[in-house]
Amino acid sequence: MSPETIKIFDTTLRDGEQSPGASMNTEEKIQIAAQLERLGVDIIEAGFAAASPGDFDAIEKIAQRVTTSTICSLARAIDSDIKSAGEAIAKAKMKRIHTFIATSSIHMEHKLKMTPDEVIRRAVRAVSYARTFVEDVEFSCEDAGRSDMGFMKEISDAVIEAGATTINLPDTVGFRLPSEIGAMVKEMSEYTRGRAIISVHNHNDLGLGVANSLEAVVNGARQVECTINGLGERAGNAALEEIVMALKTRSDIFANYTTNINTTEIYPSSRLIASITGIEPQPNKAIVGKNAFAHESGIHQDGMLKNKATYEIITPESIGLVKDDTLVLGKHSGRAAFKDKLAKLGFILDEEALNASFARFKIMADRKKEIYDDDLRALVTNEMTKATQIYELLSLQLMDCSDGVPSAAVKIKTHKDEIIEAGIGAGTMDAIFKTIDRISGYEGQLLDYKVKSVSQGKDALASVTVKVSFNGEPAIIGHGLNIDTMLASARAYIGALNSYLSMEGKLKSRHSDSSKTV
Ligand code: KIV
Ligand code: ZN
């Protein structure tokens, strides 16, 4: 008997983006969607179209770009949400609307203030309306983990009758244990057999998101919702890489199931999301953590040298982590070699992006002797995911420090002209950021600052991530890359400012209309 395919529904761009500080700009979302397509996910939940014009725009652009994954937008069970979702995904080759309403007593009574009958009516109306836009409609019983089984059967009957093709059972608050999820999924999949696909969506509040998803598969779920690096609300969602690699590595147990995921794209996907959101997986995170393949103790190293299988159940190569990250290109490398190398790393750039990346590469190669795969990944990601550059750093001059007054002279290009300003600060960084604030007229509050070296060597690239709140709005992440840490910091700060300006509308609407948060 050939194995059944478990659909992988990735919600990094929707539930993942709901992680504090993980807001992404449209360009960043497009790059992530392209990577998710390479990874082979079946469904990409590209966002929540009604949340803001920015969300709508990103979903619409992704829908036009991606061809082999289904593009989905979330929508509350409200006509205006469903209309936005339907319009945003209209141009997708394969499209889905995902609508939801809470079905647990606690949510219906206290949050929705609706009776169960009203909830059913709303759900049916939402699904019927969604079907006027698409054939593929997913309905979620929000807080299914704490919902009454009888009620979930009743509402599922009604929405299937109205045209829902997938019934998702989210453990919204991450409360359930694997045995409980298994029992819920078994009963619901037997009940709906042949009428709808049962899906699960497990949050990780008790650290059980992945275990619950695997138990769901064995009990009849044929779609699993998850995120790269386990990003998501609070403790996050079940991690895609862990679910997929568990199914693959334990094919003795999961012999009847397979996925469409190309596992060698797992590591590049994880790196892309970490660098865009600035949220690094913990070092000991399964599959993609920095230490996931590190063998520290002498006994383990000895075993590994004799036979890797002694301590390694997954090969780094199988997730696309090529350990032999040798010197790749240098300052004499040409554009063709550069393009070829990028293609090997999974980056297919259009002419404009290729030229911009190549120009940056040449500058880097002049100053840095050895260029590694990670340097190239960082450089290209940085180049591709830039928000529209309203402000561009032209030059930076610093006067320090040891006993004088730290000061910075910053030259910035705007769409209209070039502006030079100088300012002082408590330290060099403070002087740089304050001077940029003076030029832009936006006051930024630095909430977090991280610097890490991209690869090895004293001349390593500094990758700076800043988290800034402009004018008291929700925090925005910015990235800067340069051999010089101060230049990288200035770029990161300006990057955050550009993202803030490109998302200003979105942040305002999220801020002022809390009823729109999911
Ligand atoms: O956790 C949840 O219940 C959700 C739904 C909107 C599917 O994210
Ligand atoms: Zn969720």
482 Cβ below 6 A of ligand 1: no
Q: Contact at 8 Å (CB) between 276 and 27?
A: no
Q: Is residue 264 one of the residues assigned to a domain? A: yes
Q: What integer is the mean pLDDT of 449-462? A: 87
Residue nearest to atom 8 of ligand 1 (CA): 15
Note the pLDDT of residue 54. 87
DSSP string, 346-362: T----HHHHHHHHHHHH
Q: Is residue 178 one of the residues assigned to a domain? A: yes
* Sequence-distant (≥ 6) Cβ neighbours of residue 28 within 8 angstroms: 276, 385, 387
Question: Which ligand is nearest to the Cα of residue 172, counting in written order?
Answer: 1
503/87: higher pLDDT: 87
140 CA: nearest ligand 1 atom: 7
Cα–Cα distance between 11 and 72 in angstroms, integer?
9
Assess whether 398 and 379 both reside in one domain: no
* Sequence-distant (≥ 6) Cβ neighbours of residue 209 within 8 angstroms: 171, 174, 202, 203, 226, 230, 236, 237, 238, 239
Assess whether 409 and 333 both reside in one domain: no
Cα–Cα distance between 118 and 152 in angstroms, integer?
14
Cα–Cα distance between 279 and 35 in angstroms, integer?
17
> How close is the Cα of 74 to the center of ligand 1, in Å?
9
> pLDDT tens for residues 228-265?
999 998 999 999 999 999 999 999 999 999 999 999 99
pLDDT-wise least confident of 110-114, 217-221, 446-450, 500-504:
500-504
Q: What integer is the mean pLDDT of 39-67? A: 96
Q: Is residue 211 one of the residues assigned to a domain? A: yes
> How close is the Cα of 131 to the center of ligand 1, in Å?
20
Please determine, for residue 323, whether its predicted confidence score (pLDDT) is greater than 70: no
Amino acid, single-letter form, for residue 267: Y
Please determine, for residue 178, whether its predicted confidence score (pLDDT) is greater than 60: yes
236 Cβ below 6 A of ligand 1: no
Assess whether 356 and 423 both reside in one domain: no
Please determine, for residue 325, whether its predicted confidence score (pLDDT) is greater than 90: no
Assess whether 342 and 365 both reside in one domain: yes
Split at pLDDT 50, 70, 90, the class of 296 is low
16 Cβ below 6 A of ligand 1: no
Q: Contact at 8 Å (CB) between 184 and 215?
A: no
Assess whether 103 and 252 both reside in one domain: yes
- Number of independent structural domains in the chain: 3
Give the gyration radius of the chain's Cα atoms.
24
Question: Which ligand is nearest to the Cα of residue 100, counting in written order?
Answer: 1
374 Cβ below 6 A of ligand 1: no
Per-chain mean pLDDT for the chain: 90
Assess whether 234 and 211 both reside in one domain: yes
Q: Is residue 318 one of the residues assigned to a domain? A: no
Query: Which CATH number fits the domain that encloses residue 502?
Result: 3.30.160.270
237 CA: nearest ligand 1 atom: 1
Interstrand relation of 166-171 and 444-453 (parallel, antiparallel or unpaired): unpaired
Look at residues 345, 362, 384 and tell me which one is the last residue of a structural domain: 384
Q: Which pTM value belongs to this model?
A: 0.86
Split at pLDDT 50, 70, 90, the class of 418 is very high
Q: Contact at 8 Å (CB) between 46 and 91?
A: no
Assess whether 366 and 411 both reside in one domain: no
Other C-beta atoms closer than 10 Å to the C-beta of 206 total 16
Assess whether 17 and 133 both reside in one domain: yes
Please determine, for residue 492, whether its predicted confidence score (pLDDT) is greater than 90: yes
Residue nearest to atom 2 of ligand 1 (CA): 172
Query: Which CATH number fits the domain that encloses residue 105?
Result: 3.20.20.70
Cα–Cα distance between 43 and 37 in angstroms, integer?
9
Cα–Cα distance between 326 and 372 in angstroms, integer?
6
215 Cβ below 6 A of ligand 1: no
Assess whether 146 and 211 both reside in one domain: yes
142 CA: nearest ligand 1 atom: 3
> pLDDT tens for residues 350-389?
888 889 899 989 988 888 877 888 888 888 887 777 767 8
Cα–Cα distance between 169 and 145 in angstroms, integer?
7
| Sole residue written with tokens 């409980």 | 180
Which domain range does residue 466 map to?
Answer: 392-507
At 122 the three-state DSSP class reads helix
15 CA: nearest ligand 1 atom: 8
Q: Is residue 286 one of the residues assigned to a domain? A: no
